[in-house]
Amino acid sequence: MENEDWIYSEKVKEHFLHPRNFLMGDESNFDYDAAGLVGNPICGDQMKMYIKVKDNKIVDIRWKTYGCASAIASTSALSELAKGRTLDDALLISAKEIDDYLGNLPKHKFHCSVLGHEALADAINKYKNGAH
């Protein structure tokens, strides 16, 4: 009997199997303006986010992670949601917005949608503070 708490939406599966804006290989191959790094010691996930900024907007974004399927899918969705937004607007992307975009994560995996946002916020704050 399958437990509904473990069921992933088709959109979550799609973003996990085919993540958008995932940085393959060495980050030196991506001309970024700032990078953010966060980790979750409880689950062991780690996320690094790279942003390219022009006219106060995120014009390109890439990321790397050591994380579960939910973290990968959530960050893939976040990268799509953030691209083209102003820095301040990108900071407003919520875990709920990511969850809604994906068609809902299992409840016990909702926390995974926060990790990418924290890495993005770190990159944006570093960019704003000149620590590119």
Q: Cα 113 vs. chain centroid, distance in angstroms? A: 7
In the annotation, is 68 catalytic?
Answer: no
Query: Cα separation of 99 and 94, whole Å?
Result: 9
Given strand 46-54, what is the order of strands in its sheet? 34-39, 46-54, 57-66
Rg value, the chain, Cα: 14
Which of 76, 117, 79 has the alpha carbon at shortest distance from 96? 117
Which of 65, 73, 21, 10 has the alpha carbon at shortest distance from 43? 65
**Residue from 112, 114, 115, 124 carrying the catalytic annotation:** 112
The amino acid that residue 25 corresponds to is: G
**Residue from 13, 14, 27, 43 carrying the catalytic annotation:** 43
In the annotation, is 112 catalytic?
Answer: yes
Residues marked active site are found at 43, 112
